[in-house]
Structure 1
Amino acid sequence: MVDQSGPRRVLRARESRSEHRQSRTGTAPFDDTPRFATPTAWFLRLGRTLRRTAPPRTARSARIRAAGHRVTASRYGPFLFAIAMIATILGFGFMLPTSEHLGSLMATVPAATAALAGARVTATIAGLSCAACVALDGHDGLFGTSTFVVHLVAIALVSLCVITFRTLRERSTRELLGVRAVAEAVQRVLIRPMPPSIGSLRIRAEYRASHPQARVGGDLYAVASSDDAVRFLIGDVKGKGLAAVDDAAALLGAFRSSARRTPSLADLMALLEEAVQAHFEEVAATDPDVAERFITALLLEIPADGSCVRMINCGHPPPYLVEGDTVRPVPARWPAPPLGLNSTGTQSYTMTVLPLAEEALLLLYTDGVIEARDPKGHFFDLEDRITAWPHRDLDELLPYILDGLTAHVGGNMRFNDDAAMVTVQRLSDSRVRRQRAGGDDGLATLEDPARVGCG
């Protein structure tokens, strides 16, 4: 007999120490039994621990994962879809009696793939479909029969047709993308992006062409800064199409070449009138209706200190001035006729001068904004839309107006005219100092901000 008294004494000593520790600290005695009864419980507990200790998901990581999912879906989605179709047809073919032949259904797989993927992927799927058809017909005992030959010939013909059509479509798509890239490059040269800031002025611009695939049309805007002032031009060419783009290019070229070297705003408008007249004379040989073409234009000048606005309006809609909660149009006191219809010279252009307070905002626009109609024929009320602007943030004003304009006309495809808008806001001196102290890369500066005012 083995003496059990020794182990029993050791066990009783452990129990007595455990009871003593419990009575002294109030804790439960140590439990030697395993905490997790099954491996599944252990893995579940491990998963909860890892989720608690994992770093939080940020918006950037979520965007990266979503972009990865989109790339995976666009690259491998059509191939996996075709494989699933083949597997489904194979599964039903092996389950059905051998008298039911599903090999001909394999011709639908490359046809469906061609609508989603390129010619190479379609050719690969066509080969896999033929192999799957051989497997199905072998299972049905069709080797050596005319049915087996018909199945393979049908898959081959359908695959050849869809691969040919897909190749021709890809070639046409590449040519279209090349032409569109050239057109977009030309359009960017014509309508250049506005600088976000010049001196104490914050600038934003939006352009919505009437054609959904175009970036520019007959509307135009440009900015030019010199040592003592910033000049803005916004205009609208009569008509649409390539002729309107040609007229806009002529006016923009004249403005960019003359705006910095012409001291007087009236002289600058006279030069623009001469350039437009010369352009119309050049195209008169090929366009018998050139006498009916003209360009409305609004020319603004803001001195370096931002204290006022000088304006010459040639048949263009007046800008809106937003000061606090007040929104009002600013018509010219002595408006002039549109460019191309006036040949009287410099003396006919008289400036309108108005003060520009700190944080005040000017909205320049073309008639495509205010003449947009809803399905009932009602015009878009731009002043009401500006008055209802809730955030008073310059970056949100133009998108807010465009959203209202799109909803008014009933969608992006219903614009009957081009629409261009430019906002110019005079910043307070304290905000300008903060931006310069913060090293704002988008803040272009004038050489001498205090050199010229409206005096």
Structure 2
Amino acid sequence: MAVVAVVDVTAGPSVGFLPLVSLGPAFAGLVGGWRRTVLIGALALVLCAGLGLYDGLFDTRRGYTSMASVAGVTAAGVAAAVMRQRREAELAGVRSIAEVAQRVLLRPVPRSAGHLRVAVSYTSAVAEARIGGDLYEVVTSPGGVRVVVGDVQGKGLEAVETAAVVLGAFREAAHDEPDLMSVSARLERAVDRTLRGEKFVTAVLAEITSTGRVTFLNYGHPPPMIVRPDGAARFAEPPQYALPLGLAAHGMPGPEPYTAPFAPGDQLLLYTDGVSEARDRERNFYPLAERAGLLKDPDPEAALEALRHDLSRHAEGPPHDDAAMLLIRHRTG
């Protein structure tokens, strides 16, 4: 508005810049509230009237036309600001409800579970979303600390719905069932009732007791990584990979439990393929085992955050798939 006023005074009334004063209330309606738009519109009308008198435009229709255009744009800007504020309020309400639903579905894991310390990192491939098709949960049960990390085929709301089914079944079964095989059977039944067609869920289940070993069941999921105190990393590969959850109708046998040493000082990292299959510009996969040294921080959350930042640098941009990581350590002190 100031620029238009200066140009109008400099160029004279013959150029016809005066109606451009209405740009002020127009932009105010886009970025400000209706009160601010009214204030800017009133200022624009005063400025238009002053310039019209200075240019002598009220002797003709040009002055009144300019005033009418500024008033009309101001009214439109006020209406647009009111509608935008209402929609922003509705969006804020919907977003708050969505955040509550996300926290209920994928609630924060406890920092300590029995004799263990736990940290989690989740990066969704969908903008503005905190959850997606990846899932994780930690439950302290009479049989030990039981963990699940999984990845639902596909993306979007359908994947979130399937993740909710798996998490609900695991949370209930992990408390009730006497062993990990019984927990997995409950999961298979829940997924079979829900999934249709060729949908499936890869998952790894773990049971950690105070005996210094961890038991795994792997449903076609990337193998967990165990990091020793000296920084050496190895993957706990299953003797034979089983089909993912939801594909039991194909008649293949289910997963066989297998164990691995997990003593004080060791670290256990469970993750989804959004981590292991992240690629850089040269299409190289993320070298997870080579980055095990990033987990040396005494604080497990800080260690996992360092690994997440390194993963983002490797991918050089937003993730193309959900990436979940769950780090487990023995408690000390």
Aligned to 2:199: 293
Structure 1 position 396, deviation (Å): 2.2
> In the alignment, what sits opposite 2:300?
394
Please state whether the residue corresponding to 2:206 is helix, strand or coil.
strand
Separation of aligned partners in 2, 1:306 and 1:422: 21
Partner Cα separation in structure 1 for residue 304 and residue 296 of structure 2? 13
Q: How many residues align?
A: 331
1:212 aligned onto 2:127: yes
Which position in structure 2 is the counterpart of 1:364? 270
The whole-number CA distance in structure 1 between the counterparts of 2:255 and 2:64 is 86
- Mapping of 1:349-388 within 5 angstroms? 349-387=255-293
Shift of 1:93: 6.2
What residue in structure 2 maps to residue 420 of structure 1? 324
Question: C-alpha displacement at 1:397, in angstroms?
Answer: 2.5
Q: Distance in 2 between matches of 1:419 and 1:306?
A: 30
Partner of 1:312: 217
Structure 2 partner of 1:31: none
Change (3 A) 1:205 1:134: same
Instruction: Could you tell me which runs of 5 or more consecutive residues in structure 2 were left unpaired when the two chains were aligned.
Output: none
Q: For residues 60-114 of structure 1, what are the alpha-carbon distances to aligned partners after superposition, in whole Å with 9 as ceiling and x for unaligned?
A: xxxxxxxxxxxxxxxxxxxxxxxxx45x655676788788876434212112322
Change (3 A) 1:90 1:344: closer
1:2-401 correspondence runs (5 A): 85-86=1-2, 103-280=18-195, 290-303=196-209, 305=210, 307-324=212-229, 325-342=231-248, 348-387=254-293, 391=297, 393-401=299-307
Indicate conservation of the 8 Å contact 2:114/2:140, yes or no: no
Are the aligned partners of 1:123 and 1:159 in contact in 2 as well (CA < 8 Å)? Answer: yes
What is the one-letter code of the residue matched to 1:108?
L
Residues 149 and 387 of structure 1, relative CA distance in 2, 3 Å threshold: same
Query: Is the 2:139–2:171 Cα contact (8 Å) retained in structure 1?
Result: yes
Give the partner amino acid of 1:314: Y
Deviation for aligned residue 1:362: 0.5
Q: 1:388 to 1:397 in 2, by over 3 A?
A: closer
Question: What is the CA distance between 1:388 and its match in structure 2?
Answer: 5.2
Shift of 1:203: 0.7
Distance in 2 (CA, whole Å) between partners of 1:183 and 1:157 is 39
Q: What is the identity percentage for the equivalent residue pairs of Structure 1 and Structure 2?
A: 37
Q: Which has the higher strand share?
A: 2
Contact kept? 1:102, 1:136, Cα under 8 Å: no
Native 8 Å contact 2:201 2:244 kept in 1: yes
Q: CA RMSD in A?
A: 2.7
Partners of 1:423 and 1:292 in 2: how far apart? 31
Return the offset for 1:173.
Answer: 2.9
Query: What secondary structure, in the 3-state scheme, does the structure 2 residue paired with 1:126 have?
Result: helix
**Any conservation in 2 of the 1:273–1:343 contact (CA below 8 Å)?**
no
- Cα distance between partner residues in 1 of 2:151 and 2:294: 27
**Alpha-carbon distance in structure 1 between the residues aligned to 2:155 and 2:58:** 66
1:387 is displaced (CA, Å) by: 3.5
CA distance in 2, matches of 1:113, 1:259: 56
Which whole-Å CA distance do the structure 1 matches of 2:13 and 2:218 have between them?
A: 85
Structure 2 distance, partners of 1:150, 1:291, is 66
Question: What CA deviation, in whole Å up to 9, does each residue of 1:399-431 have, x standing for no partner?
Answer: 22222222222212xx22211110001123xx2
Cα distance change on mapping 1:306 and 1:110 into 2, 3 Å:
farther
1:104-125 superposed Cα distances (whole Å, 9 cap, x missing partner): 3421211232232122211221
Tell me by how many angstroms 1:214 deviates.
1.8
Listed one character per residue, the Cα deviations across residues 318-369 of structure 1 (whole Å, up to 9, x for unaligned) are 1111112211111123543221223699x95532222222121110001111
Q: Give the superposition deviation at 1:144.
A: 4.1
Letter in 1 for 2:312: T
- Partners of 2:174 and 2:295 in 1: CA distance: 33
1:388–1:227 Cα change, 3 Å: closer
Q: Tell me: CA distance 1:278–1:127, structure 2 relative to 1, closer, same or farther (3 Å).
A: same
What TM-score, normalized by structure 2, do the two folds share?
Answer: 0.89
With over 3 angstroms needed to count, the CA separation of the structure-2 counterparts of 1:337 and 1:98, relative to structure 1, is closer
Q: Is the 8 A contact 2:30 2:80 kept in 1?
A: no
Of 158-167 and 257-266, deviating more is 158-167
Measured after TM superposition, the shift of residue 140 of structure 1 is: 3.5
- The CA distance in 1 between the partners of 2:138 and 2:188, in whole Å, is 18
Separation in 2 of the partners of 1:291 and 1:92?
68
Q: Contact between 2:5 and 2:21, CA under 8 Å: does it hold in 1?
A: no
Which 10-residue stretch deviates more, 223-232 or 141-150?
Answer: 141-150
